[in-house]
């Protein structure tokens, strides 16, 4: 059952947002360069935000 228009669905996870941004980036390939750049920037920002909390091994 779909949500009525104007009624928000369940909150998206960060992975859902990344998947949506990647889909938008793929679709932007057919758009003007400005749209491609905007889509790429959204993906970059989402990935940067997601990875900012990831820490790797501590250098010895």
Per-10-residue mean pLDDT, the chain, length 60: 58 81 91 93 90 72
Q: Can you list the alpha helix ranges (DSSP code H) found in the chain?
A: 14-28, 33-51
Give the pTM. Answer: 0.63
Of 35, 48, 40, nearest to 21 by C-alpha is 40
In terms of phi and psi (left: phi > 0; alpha: psi -120 to 50; beta: otherwise), the region of 59 is beta
- Read off the tokens for 57: 């091994």
Supply the pLDDT for residue 41: 93
């Amino acid at each position: 059952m779909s949500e009525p228009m104007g009624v928000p669905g369940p909150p998206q996870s960060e992975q859902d947002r990344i998947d949506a941004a990647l889909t938008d980036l793929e679709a932007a390939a057919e758009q003007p360069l400005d749209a491609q750049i905007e889509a790429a920037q959204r993906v970059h920002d989402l990935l940067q935000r997601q990875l900012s909390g990831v820490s790797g091994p501590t250098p010895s």
